[in-house]
Chain A
Amino acid sequence: MKNFFMALFNMLSICTLVVPATASTKPQRSVLDNGIILLTSEQRALPMVSIELLIDAGSRHDLPNQEGLANLTARLLTYGTRQRTALQISDTLDFVGARLSAACGEDLASVSMTVLKKDLGTGLELLAEVLTAANFPQEEIDRQKQSIIASIRAREESPGDIAQRRFAEALYPQSPYGRPVEGNEASVKALEQKTLKAFYDRYYRPNRTIVSIVGDISHQEIARALNEALHSWQKGDPATAPVAPSKIGSSETIRVHKDLTQANIVLGHNGVGRENPDYYAIQVMNYILGGGGFSSRTLDSIRNERGLAYSVYSYFGAEKGHGTFELVMQTKNETALEAIRIANAEIRRMREELVTEEELKDAKDYLIGSFPLRLDTNRKVANFWAQVEYFQLGLDYPDRYDDFIQKVSRADVRRVAQKYLNPEHLITVIVANQKKIGDQ
């Protein structure tokens, strides 16, 4: 179709048009008195403010037999401060329609808030209380423990979650990265108030915190407001680099039996850290293998050609110092082994053959061309800059991104496939009705 080629021909002019719009979201950065790193991007179109905090307080800091400590701490942030009860906090938030939530991952805890500009004062006041004056009432601890234990049960209803958990366990045995962030029933039950308070006291510190704010406010205004609201928040131990768990084990297959119509399958192994210079070549390679939405090799061979699955995708999840490679799909029990064979064959083909010029170009065009879509809401922009800061990518990252992708060659793609895809070391998890799968 002629029009499409003409549109491609216009590529250069598009880049020059898109970049200014992206660049306009470039944040201002400063370090507040107590060590908070603050990034702000002024967006005046709507009378609202989106706030994202990343705190070096993830479950990797959980001690043995205290699994779930970081998660319970994060959950309790909004359930009682020295100034307000849990109900007062939620009622205050609900009355102004503000949203405040806290979550916990392996490396980081996060706190997110969305609030109307006119209620920002109320929002910041609550945020400051949560960060500096959470008081972990025993009654709330008991309540949240029960709730987490219910979540631990509920996740057994989701075969995809079970597969993910078993994969992480096999990949990172004896490591916080191999355990669910929520912990297990016994460890959660045993957590004590003083342990929670100690964790909060040690890890929730301004010099372990990145704050990214996007919305109807200037950098100066918000910096002043935060300095004021958080002046009592004292520095603690500085943030530490995650200790990279690494394991290249032998290939392993894990089967979990459930009364299901579909096999939920995860294949994978170690990946790379975000700082790895091959990260961009890996993203291009993975796009071709299984990252490319409706256009990838595994989607073609498993879904489009054979009708074996509705969803099949692969990704390299990259954190600081560590990462995973996973290929995820679901297919009816009876075709599980066939789908696994094809996925393995596609992984091997990535290592053996050069990708075509067209595949390479399509992948690069998507990764570069879709970049602005990562920044098309205030919430996404706030998350984006928090991540850029955390991974130390530099505020000029959006300007340099195209180049990182553009210089990847077909030989690079094969090289990183050979280096970072290891079909001999794949962990394969199959959550399914094992009676219907067979043995081969």
Chain B
Amino acid sequence: MSHPLAATSQTTQVQEFVLDNGLKVLLLEDHKSPAVTFQVWYRVGSRNEKDGKSGLSHFLEHMLFKGTPKLKPEEYSRIIAKNGGRSNAFTTSDVTVYFATMSRDKIGIEIELEADRMVNALLGETYFEPEKKVIQEERRLRTEDNPVSALGEITGAVAYMVHPYRRPVIGWMDDIQNLTRQDLVDYYKLYYAPNNAFIVMTGDFSTQEMLPKIKAAFGNLPRGAEPPKVRAEEPPQQGERRVTLKKEAELPFVLMYYHTPNLKSPDSYALDVLSVVLAGGRSSRLYHDLVYQKRLARSVDADYNGLAIDPSVFSVTAQLMPGKEPAEIEREMDRLLEQVKTELISERELQKAKNQIESAFIYAQDSIFGQAMKIGYYEAVGGWRLMDGYLDGIRKVSREDIQRVAKAYLDRDRRTVGILLPGKENT
């Protein structure tokens, strides 16, 4: 087939600069809409946390909005908003990211504010306890009262025994309760420094104009000590693990986590294509069979998470139709997963999956924020240049590759199955 889309891959237009203090700056000019996204990525997330201190990265993220010597608490958000910007932050297992999207003329404000809170956050005592309560409310909202999300948390905790991916990003409720302000101060000193961060900026700006602004704001911040490396390795799983969650809910949910390598493995392309063959669109295998034909599931998904610093999981999920049993759908899911191991998929199916990935790749470029996110994740995991080879890697995937990775990774002995069993409260 021809590849008329290759020319539209914009990844090669990323420009990289490294300041003397170790701060990496990744810039992608894109002038199709009148806005700029500026993001600071810290190479710290729940992956870096210790037992008993889960939720520390995320707690710190909240406290970075509580002011510096130059800036009152919550003033950051107010300044960005009154300059027409939208700002927020998020924490994952691997990274903590702060960002604002604004017009080109205002983005300089964001640059200075981010430089300020990279090293000057006060983490004020007065705001510590109220913010702890806010975070506990966030946990109730996201996890405690959300059955599917609670299932994901507990299944992750069983799929990993050694690696910190076993802990939820937001932290266990008790750990959040027991965190101290000193924990935050120590953590901030350890991980927030220019050499443990990088900047991603995309949108309607000129590099000539912005690079000097970034250098002026961040260039004089002192390099920090090298933060400790995370060395935990998850030992190979030997035998299936199963976990059930009984909780007030309406429909059962089945979640399977299969251990897989991340995108640094050459198998990652085939795993991506496999996830689309299984659940990309209504004509995909799982959807067509389980949702459409057999009406066992209300929804299904297959997702390969290669954008993780350490080996991650391939997940296969199904929310059941009313009156259906988890055991029944599990059998059917297994049957479909076995099928891709025993029989080659058709040429057309392979091409369809590749076309879906290529078009999604183009659609994603519609959003400057989305582009910045992609650059950031790649950089955090293995370097942004890995993006360049992505479509080529996808195009090279063969039917035999799909079968091979399915055999290698969709192995029942290396999976964890989580099942949500709806129940009513015990009174």
Chain A residues near B71: list those with CB within 8 A: 1
Closest 3 CB pairs of A and B: A369-B84, A97-B359, A307-B133
Known: A3-B109, A153-B322. Contact between A96 and B70, CB under 8 A? Answer: no
Can you list 7 A-B contacts with CB-CB less than 8 angstroms, sorted by A residue number? A3-B112, A86-B282, A95-B352, A98-B359, A143-B292, A304-B74, A369-B103
A293 touches B81 (CB 8 A): yes
Question: Are B32's CB and A310's CB within 8 A?
Answer: no
In the bound complex, what is the Cα–Cα distance between A151 and B250 (angstroms)? Answer: 10
Closest Cβ of chain A: how far from B359's Cβ, in Å? Answer: 3
B338 on the A face (CB < 8 A):
no
Q: Point out the residues of chain A lying under 8 angstroms from B102, CB to CB.
A: 369, 373
Q: Per a CB cutoff under 8 Å, which of A48, A153, A376 touches B34? A: A376
Q: Is B400 an interface residue (CB 8 A)?
A: no
**CB-defined contacts of B33 to chain A, threshold 8 Å:** 21, 372, 375-377
Taking CB atoms, residues of chain B closer than 8 Å to A259 are 248, 424-425
Residue A378 interfacial (CB < 8 Å): yes
Decide if A309 is an interface residue (CB 8 Å cutoff): yes
Greatest chain A CB density within 10 A among B77, B106, B140, B348 is at B140
* Chain A contact residue count (CB 8 A cutoff): 82
Q: Do residues B134 and A303 form an inter-chain contact, with CB atoms below 8 A? A: yes
For residue A303, which residues in chain B have a CB less than 8 angstroms away from its CB?
134
A82-102: CB near B (< 8 Å → 1, else 0) gives 000011001101111111000
Taking a contact as CB atoms under 8 Å apart, the answer to whether B363 and A362 are in contact is no
Asked whether B147 is an interface residue with its Cβ less than 8 Å from the other chain, the reply is yes
**Across the interface, do A21 and B34 meet the contact criterion of CB distance under 8 Å?**
yes
Q: What's the tally of chain B residues with a CB closer than 8 Å to chain A?
A: 86
Given contacts A159-B145, A259-B248, A261-B145, 9 further A-B pairs with CB under 8 A are A7-B83, A14-B106, A18-B34, A46-B365, A147-B295, A153-B322, A310-B135, A369-B102, A379-B366
Residue A368, interface by CB 8 Å: yes
Bound complex: CA A365 to CA B83 (Å): 6
Q: Which residues of B contact A158 (CB under 8 A)?
A: 146
B7 — nearest CB in chain A belongs to which residue?
Answer: A47
Q: Does B130 interact with chain A (Cβ within 8 Å)?
A: yes
Which residue of A is nearest B81, CB measured? A366
Tell whether A306 is near chain B: CB-to-CB under 8 Å: yes
Please give the distance in Å from A318's CB to the nearest CB on chain B: 21
Chain A residues packing against B (C-beta within 8 Å):
1, 3-4, 7-8, 10, 13-14, 17-18, 21-22, 43, 45-48, 50, 86-87, 90-91, 93-99, 114-116, 118, 143, 146-147, 149-151, 153-154, 156-159, 258-262, 292-295, 300, 303-311, 330-332, 361-362, 365-366, 368-373, 375-379
Q: Which of B34, B106, B283 contacts A90 (CB 8 A)?
A: B283
Partner of A18, one of B5, B103, B131: B103
> Smallest Cβ distance from A148 to chain B, in angstroms?
10
Q: Flag if B137 contacts A94 (CB, 8 Å).
A: no
Shortest distance from the beta carbon of A57 to any chain B beta carbon, whole Å: 22
Q: How far is the CA of A362 from the CA of B138 in the complex (A)?
A: 27
In the bound complex, do residue B105 and residue A13 qualify as a contact, i.e. CB atoms below 8 Å apart? Answer: yes
> B319, A154: Cβ atoms under 8 Å?
yes
Complex alpha-carbon distance, A368 and B73, angstroms: 24
A332 B355 Cβ-Cβ under 8 A: no
What residue of chain B has the Cβ atom nearest to residue A43's Cβ?
B32
**Do A143 and B295 form a contact, CB below 8 Å, given A47-B362, A157-B251, A310-B135?**
yes
In the complex, whether B64 has a CB less than 8 A from a CB of chain A is no
How far apart are the CA atoms of A378 and B364 in the complex, in Å? 11
Contact (Cβ within 8 A) A376 B145: no
Query: At the interface, yes or no: B189 with Cβ under 8 Å from chain A?
Result: no
Inter-chain contact B137/A45, CB cutoff 8 Å: no
- B367 at interface, CB cutoff 8 A: yes
Closest chain A residue, CB of each to CB of B80: A294
Residue of A nearest to B5 (CB): A47
